[in-house]
Amino acid sequence: MFPWGQSLFKKQMEGFTNGMNTKDIDQYVQQILSSTMGNSFPDFMKGNDFFKQAQQGNKTGPTTSMGGTSSRMETHVFETLDECIIQVKIPDKSMLQSLRVYHTPHTCILEGYEGENEFREEISLPCSVKRKGTKAIYRSGVLEIKMPKYTNIPLSQVDVHDFD
């Protein structure tokens, strides 16, 4: 083990990075990509939804429904000391008749029909939740799903061996 700040390759690495310019590195990478992928790669990036979302900086992309159209439900997820709460804005009360709510310890899944189209929305939870005890209440155009947190996380003790 080397002491902090000292390395066998420290002098070589300092000399290696001093002569580099970020603009030159970018040009080199672009040249390598275009030579290996050809001219079709920029066209592929323009037509691909993944790259469009990445360029826009959209962290949560649109979820595609099973019917092929985009479904964007306005959701708010937060946690309290004892619960994980999801609030979903559902302005059309007729959607509640076909709505099904499922959850795993880390994800909540909403399925149903919006008119003729079937949709599926997956919401990541900020904490793990219990299997039972979930309650869902619809009030004033908002579906509120309350899930009790799973706080009994098992602890494992790890033995530390001293080899000195």
Domain residue spans in the chain?
A: 10-56, 63-148
Tell if the pTM clears 0.85, that is, is over it.
Answer: no
- List pLDDT tens digits, range 73-99: 789 999 999 999 999 998 788 888 999
Question: Is the confidence at residue 11, as pLDDT, over 70?
Answer: no
Tens digit of each residue's pLDDT (9 = 90 or more) over 22-38: 777 777 877 777 777 66
SS3 readout for the chain: CCCCCCCCCHHHHHHHHHCCCHHHHHHHHHHHHHHHHCCHHHHHHHHCHHHHHHHHCCCCCCEECCCCCEECCCEEEEECCCEEEEEEECCCHHHHHCCEEEECCCEEEEEEEECCEEEEEEEECCCCECCCCCEEEEECCEEEEEEEECCCCCCCCCCCCCCC
The domain 63-148 having CATH identifier 2.60.40.790: the answer here is yes
More confident of the two residues 86 and 44: 86
For the chain, percent of residues with pLDDT exceeding 90: 35
Average pLDDT over residues 102-107: 94
